Structure 1
């Protein structure tokens, strides 16, 4: 008996082995040709997200069929609650014609918040490796019914729960699933698929599984920390570090749409180290081909005391754009700036197509004022673009407006940064509470190590909006007011989360209360060019007569542009200086504006010393060679003046007195006033300094006659001082000198005894 049993078992084993190793045994299935893959997606509107989805599909040559385009959305607010049944109804209708195509593989995916990262061949290969007829995307969170979590089959490793944003399977099997749909458009699509999958009999009969380890589908919700960018030579991939997989479909489900936007700035071929920005020149608008330039409404917002406001308006005036195509709206919230606006308007009242000012007397909040400015464009069908700019933006690129228009985006801003800092007008990411978070690429974008056009979650200070978008996607009239957010944050959040517009134009009463699916408008920042900078409004003290003079610390670049002579740098590049007397050097340092404002500041202060020997301002209280002057310390300008010496005088010192390294320190810094009736000249003397600077603050023959300086040792006089130019000469021992008489008018000079 035991022998017979052994023979039977041995015979069965031989038959099994024969079938396994026989050349007639079934072979591994051949690769499915990519022509047999059909992508089905539902989209009722061509949103920015949909267009991005189609762009990624085109890159990989997917065959895509769009369902529901132009159909009213009745599927609920799927971004915030249950819904989406309309997608299954449309898919069910489409599958009826495909149900008998047994070799057709259908890939059903969302489109508004999804991109492709891999091609059809890759997806089909991974689908075959899954060895099931239907594969659903998987995620680590249960939606919409958490009570169903325990009914899911346990998995040793991987995502356990179904996500309906991605399904791939053979057409007959997909049809068998969706043909069971008999619910309403606003019922939940994911709950429908979940219940079918959790039915053990259906799961076995339809041979369904989940993509547990994100081989095909990557859902970002709950998995952002698992994902990073993988830069390759041909394109950029998304890599799941937990499963070491390279998903071919990336889905920004839940609250991860901003992170998807970040990934899509690179994936699949938007930007790479080798090729830079691949899509920056796609769909650009060629202004040279237009019969006339678009009409632009410029909204200017002055919400706090802002340094260099006259210069801001001059930069607006010098934009390379036809002024008859610019209408200007100004909201000024500061009484202090009314004089600046009035001066600009009086000088340029006929330059722009129109110029409207709303002042502080209107008592508008920032949000109300910005809504008003945007509405002026929204309500005017001839307004092609709305250009919003805050007064703390210094646009140094005259082509800015043209360059933004040419990029042809609904909302786009130029990158502007604060000098020497990483502070800019955009955020690369948001924290969980909706405020600033630093994205991985933020620093590289700010420093222009990565150059392109970037989809970002927040922008402020300066941006361009299409008028057509204002009258369509952004047609709501209250974008700048939302909860307790500041106006810019409110605008960006409203644009990102554009989900709650009513179907007011729908003739169907029942659809009036239906919400549209998410269709957020993408916001872009471009750093393809150097556009300008942000100035600091912090610590701007407006108690002085000329307040910008004090901005040498807060805004050094703007201070230099306004107050340093235009030829100053030529001292070092072209040796642009003179030596009228031995070891007396003459060079340009101050602009006309610096000279005028310093004189105005001193006259506004008004307490001139009178040129008396008794002087309580100095140690000992006695001045042997007194001048009629005001000290920098008296007007609170001593720290700023010493910084000016270190920044702009010290380099000249090293150039002309080679080997001498000045400390850039001075105790005596003052402006002298020479007039025939008070003090016309200064007797011969030495200065208590290692070297002295003497800057002419006004013009000879126009403001005064006479004046100048004579150096006795060399019998050399300089009688034609130039406004804004400085003498530099040794103070002690060798250069005994005197101030020559001023015969008419008033002469002003700024003097410092450096390194006493």
Structure 2
């Protein structure tokens, strides 16, 4: 009997075990359809941040409902203190109509400092995997009450603290959460959600949890070092390297808004290696479709002695833009430059619509002057754009104004850099103390390996601002003055932060943990075209007569453009030179401006040698074939002249004397003055050089009569020197030569005995 009972029991157990083994594994729940996801966001104004949020939402086809648009913000200045309750109140009101939709998933997110990096399908899949009814974003920093830290549930890994910038859940459950709100608009939203979450009973009843490992929500505050950009073929993602996750929602909370701006230059599809800039042509202005060009006020700021200022004004004059649509405001802080401005004004007084100059006698600070320029556009309702440019910007692109207007940004600057340097007019990032930091992409943008329109935290030197922006978002009139900051940094900080009230002291770090509704204006730099360059003003010495001549080291490109003959490069591309006598080569090297300024510098110095044999300036003190001259060393130009020889004469030497590599060294470098009254000619002689250059500094028949050079060995004379052209001939042994008489006027030549 006992045996039978045991057998029956064993049989029943086996049947039960077989029934368990044959039971099918439960199927995963069906995916939530994307049309069942509704995004709710609060935005009382259409800021740049809001438009960026909506752009990323449209890219992924999110259904977005905006709450509070046009409503006055009463949620407090939560960038400096607690607040944000208005967002909960608006969400509560919206959820009342959605509470019965049990299959609706609601995603509540901030908008001004948030972007989407993934689509609805991905976010719904990850929400289902979390297996909770309500999921909050998480962060590693606690706000607003640090005393609540110990009340948070312990976790093995991940972020422990709640962030209210991102919530996802089924509509009835979201409604049950927000329906508990009975506070004021300026009470703290994050504290409200935190207290609900920290109540074990309510947390369990509402089936709430946090997105501890950033599967859906990535808050950047305190986590910048955890994230990086992951470039794909179709779009760019943000990757959390600690949890190896690809967050769908990226939130630049706290003091990470500038880092979010950097990320949003790429995420989700703003720029990638395959297609470059995908939004650069969005919302552009087609100037060809306008009845007339918009009015532009050009603000020019000369705050320190600046080389090549006449050339700067000429480039302004040659901008391809109707001059009757340009008003010019100039602030000049340097007495030295008054002569340049006066000359330009006298020659072009009727070219522009108006031309206003505020000089050094007004004793304005940089900030005051820049405020004045911007205010002129702000007060003039016909001013469509304000274009600010410093005198150290050389615009080489005549289309600059048109190109900037076409991009249709509130604030945009053209990229300009110093020649062959990484120094530019923008910063890609800021340090914690608000000064320069190099962004990961800075070098690539400067070197144009990445081309586009870039949201940046700081710009200077040259930029364009919409007149409407000056009369709305930037309507206050003291943007360039902020304690301890220079004017450009003040402008950029004020534009970025756009605080409702100004305080001299920076807010404490703790105050950045919450999002205030920022009205910050985005600033952009474009490197889609070559616009020009920055010149160096650091070592500009104005003690000379023609000071730009000394800029061959500091600003070599501008020096070459001003002082080297326009046909110089043809020597190498088209063999643009002559050989009037055997081994005597004749080629263009100096511009007329160079010739005139060298002569002017010598005459300003004024102490000509008189052509005497006794000469203390040379070794031994005796010159066998003396000239009436001034040495380059006497005017402090010897070092610059030798550099000129190495840069512009040595390449020609290698071309015409094949196989000879010059050292480009010369002891005797001087300007000779021939006149019938003092010294009209030079007797036959050899030069103490391997080769000699002889550059004509003025024009025959216009400035003098006669002159020229005769080479005895070949009985060959050159009687028609061209201004700015140089002879080059061997100095010793073969080329005995003499200077032919100058019969009238004054003849000037620059001579160097090279490789003595």
The bucket for the TM-score relative to the shorter chain is over 0.9
Distance 1:413 1:509 in 2: 30
Task: Please state how far the C-alpha of 1:78 moved relative to its aligned partner.
Answer: 2.0
Q: Is the 8 A contact 2:280 2:452 kept in 1?
A: yes
Task: Please state how far the C-alpha of 1:77 moved relative to its aligned partner.
Answer: 1.1
Q: Is the 8 A contact 1:74 1:515 kept in 2?
A: no
Q: Is the 8 A contact 1:503 1:514 kept in 2?
A: no
Distance 2:676 2:420 in 1: 47
Task: Please state how far the C-alpha of 1:483 moved relative to its aligned partner.
Answer: 1.0
Task: Please state how far the C-alpha of 1:482 moved relative to its aligned partner.
Answer: 0.6
Instruction: Pick closer, same or farther for the CA change 1:505–1:81 going to 2, 3 Å.
Output: closer
Q: Is the 8 A contact 1:506 1:512 kept in 2?
A: no
Task: Please state how far the C-alpha of 1:14 moved relative to its aligned partner.
Answer: 8.0
Instruction: Pick closer, same or farther for the CA change 1:748–1:12 going to 2, 3 Å.
Output: farther
Q: Is the 8 A contact 2:116 2:268 kept in 1?
A: yes
| Per-residue CA distance 1:261-312 (angstroms, 9 max, x = gap) | 0000000000000000000000000000000000000000000000000000
| Per-residue CA distance 1:90-146 (angstroms, 9 max, x = gap) | 000000011011110000000000000000000000001111111100000000100
| Per-residue CA distance 1:468-495 (angstroms, 9 max, x = gap) | 0000001010000011100000000000
Distance 2:388 2:111 in 1: 31
Instruction: Pick closer, same or farther for the CA change 1:424–1:6 going to 2, 3 Å.
Output: farther
Task: Please state how far the C-alpha of 1:19 moved relative to its aligned partner.
Answer: 8.1
Distance 1:190 1:518 in 2: 17
Task: Please state how far the C-alpha of 1:728 moved relative to its aligned partner.
Answer: 0.1
Distance 2:62 2:714 in 1: 87
Distance 1:608 1:511 in 2: 72
Task: Please state how far the C-alpha of 1:81 moved relative to its aligned partner.
Answer: 1.7
Instruction: Pick closer, same or farther for the CA change 1:17–1:692 going to 2, 3 Å.
Output: farther
Q: Is the 8 A contact 2:453 2:528 kept in 1?
A: yes
- Secondary structure of 1:282 counterpart: coil
Q: Is the 8 A contact 1:613 1:626 kept in 2?
A: yes
Q: Is the 8 A contact 2:82 2:187 kept in 1?
A: yes
Task: Please state how far the C-alpha of 1:17 moved relative to its aligned partner.
Answer: 6.4
Q: Is the 8 A contact 2:666 2:752 kept in 1?
A: yes
Distance 1:466 1:407 in 2: 11
Q: Is the 8 A contact 1:307 1:548 kept in 2?
A: yes
Q: Is the 8 A contact 2:60 2:118 kept in 1?
A: yes
Q: Is the 8 A contact 2:78 2:84 kept in 1?
A: yes
Distance 1:647 1:378 in 2: 48
Distance 1:639 1:422 in 2: 26
- Secondary structure of 1:256 counterpart: helix
Task: Please state how far the C-alpha of 1:180 moved relative to its aligned partner.
Answer: 0.1
Task: Please state how far the C-alpha of 1:668 moved relative to its aligned partner.
Answer: 0.0
Distance 2:692 2:444 in 1: 45
| Per-residue CA distance 1:708-734 (angstroms, 9 max, x = gap) | 000000000000000000000000000
Instruction: Pick closer, same or farther for the CA change 1:87–1:261 going to 2, 3 Å.
Output: same
Q: Is the 8 A contact 2:81 2:511 kept in 1?
A: no
Q: Is the 8 A contact 2:254 2:515 kept in 1?
A: no
Instruction: Pick closer, same or farther for the CA change 1:16–1:504 going to 2, 3 Å.
Output: farther
Instruction: Pick closer, same or farther for the CA change 1:742–1:240 going to 2, 3 Å.
Output: same
- Secondary structure of 2:654 counterpart: helix
- Secondary structure of 1:384 counterpart: strand
Instruction: Pick closer, same or farther for the CA change 1:14–1:476 going to 2, 3 Å.
Output: farther
Aligned ranges 1:716-755 → 2 under 5 Å: 716-755=716-755
Q: Over aligned residue pairs, what C-alpha RMSD do you find? A: 3.6
Q: Is the 8 A contact 1:707 1:747 kept in 2?
A: yes
Task: Please state how far the C-alpha of 1:237 moved relative to its aligned partner.
Answer: 0.3
Q: Which residue of 2 aligns with 1:710?
A: 710
Task: Please state how far the C-alpha of 1:69 moved relative to its aligned partner.
Answer: 0.4
| Per-residue CA distance 1:63-90 (angstroms, 9 max, x = gap) | 0000000001000112222111000000
Distance 1:340 1:146 in 2: 62
| Per-residue CA distance 1:589-632 (angstroms, 9 max, x = gap) | 00000000000000000000000000000010000000000000
Q: Is the 8 A contact 1:213 1:245 kept in 2?
A: yes
Q: Is the 8 A contact 1:394 1:534 kept in 2?
A: yes
Q: Which residue of 1 aligns with 2:630?
A: 630
Instruction: Pick closer, same or farther for the CA change 1:245–1:13 going to 2, 3 Å.
Output: farther
| Per-residue CA distance 1:516-568 (angstroms, 9 max, x = gap) | 72111000000000000000001100000000000000000000000000000
- Secondary structure of 1:356 counterpart: strand
Distance 1:512 1:28 in 2: 42
Instruction: Pick closer, same or farther for the CA change 1:611–1:120 going to 2, 3 Å.
Output: same
Instruction: Pick closer, same or farther for the CA change 1:506–1:162 going to 2, 3 Å.
Output: closer
Distance 1:539 1:733 in 2: 43
Instruction: Pick closer, same or farther for the CA change 1:19–1:123 going to 2, 3 Å.
Output: farther
Task: Please state how far the C-alpha of 1:667 moved relative to its aligned partner.
Answer: 0.1
TM-score scaled by length of structure 1? 0.97
Distance 1:32 1:505 in 2: 50
Instruction: Pick closer, same or farther for the CA change 1:514–1:578 going to 2, 3 Å.
Output: closer
Instruction: Pick closer, same or farther for the CA change 1:7–1:633 going to 2, 3 Å.
Output: farther
Q: Which residue of 2 aligns with 1:238?
A: 238
Distance 1:418 1:474 in 2: 30
Distance 1:702 1:27 in 2: 100
Task: Please state how far the C-alpha of 1:172 moved relative to its aligned partner.
Answer: 0.5
Distance 2:711 2:79 in 1: 82
Q: Is the 8 A contact 1:76 1:186 kept in 2?
A: yes
- Secondary structure of 2:383 counterpart: coil
Distance 1:6 1:163 in 2: 60
Q: Is the 8 A contact 2:80 2:511 kept in 1?
A: no
Aligned ranges 1:583-732 → 2 under 5 Å: 583-732=583-732
Q: Is the 8 A contact 1:388 1:461 kept in 2?
A: yes
| Per-residue CA distance 1:6-47 (angstroms, 9 max, x = gap) | 999999998996786565775321110101100000000000
Q: Is the 8 A contact 2:80 2:507 kept in 1?
A: no
Q: Which residue of 1 aligns with 2:34?
A: 34
Q: Which residue of 2 aligns with 1:524?
A: 524
Task: Please state how far the C-alpha of 1:503 moved relative to its aligned partner.
Answer: 17
Relative to structure 2, which stretch is displaced further, 729-738 or 502-511?
Answer: 502-511
TM-score scaled by length of structure 2? 0.97
Task: Please state how far the C-alpha of 1:499 moved relative to its aligned partner.
Answer: 2.5
- Secondary structure of 1:21 counterpart: helix
| Per-residue CA distance 1:158-200 (angstroms, 9 max, x = gap) | 0000000000000010000000000000000000000000000
Distance 2:611 2:262 in 1: 67
- Secondary structure of 1:168 counterpart: strand
Task: Please state how far the C-alpha of 1:513 moved relative to its aligned partner.
Answer: 22
Distance 2:27 2:151 in 1: 36
| Per-residue CA distance 1:304-353 (angstroms, 9 max, x = gap) | 00000000000000000000000000000000000000000000000000
Instruction: Pick closer, same or farther for the CA change 1:224–1:334 going to 2, 3 Å.
Output: same
Instruction: Pick closer, same or farther for the CA change 1:693–1:514 going to 2, 3 Å.
Output: closer
- Secondary structure of 1:729 counterpart: strand
Instruction: Pick closer, same or farther for the CA change 1:5–1:192 going to 2, 3 Å.
Output: farther
| Per-residue CA distance 1:633-663 (angstroms, 9 max, x = gap) | 0000000000000000000000000000000
Q: Is the 8 A contact 1:77 1:518 kept in 2?
A: no
Instruction: Pick closer, same or farther for the CA change 1:707–1:66 going to 2, 3 Å.
Output: same
In structure 1, runs of 5+ residues without a counterpart are none
Q: Which residue of 1 aligns with 2:490?
A: 490
Instruction: Pick closer, same or farther for the CA change 1:471–1:741 going to 2, 3 Å.
Output: same
Q: Which residue of 1 aligns with 2:478?
A: 478
Q: Which residue of 1 aligns with 2:463?
A: 463
Distance 2:505 2:437 in 1: 39
Q: Is the 8 A contact 2:497 2:518 kept in 1?
A: yes
Q: Which residue of 2 aligns with 1:179?
A: 179
Q: Is the 8 A contact 2:78 2:511 kept in 1?
A: no
Q: Is the 8 A contact 1:75 1:514 kept in 2?
A: no
Q: Is the 8 A contact 2:284 2:406 kept in 1?
A: yes
Instruction: Pick closer, same or farther for the CA change 1:615–1:155 going to 2, 3 Å.
Output: same
Instruction: Pick closer, same or farther for the CA change 1:513–1:368 going to 2, 3 Å.
Output: farther
Instruction: Pick closer, same or farther for the CA change 1:725–1:3 going to 2, 3 Å.
Output: farther
Instruction: Pick closer, same or farther for the CA change 1:20–1:698 going to 2, 3 Å.
Output: farther
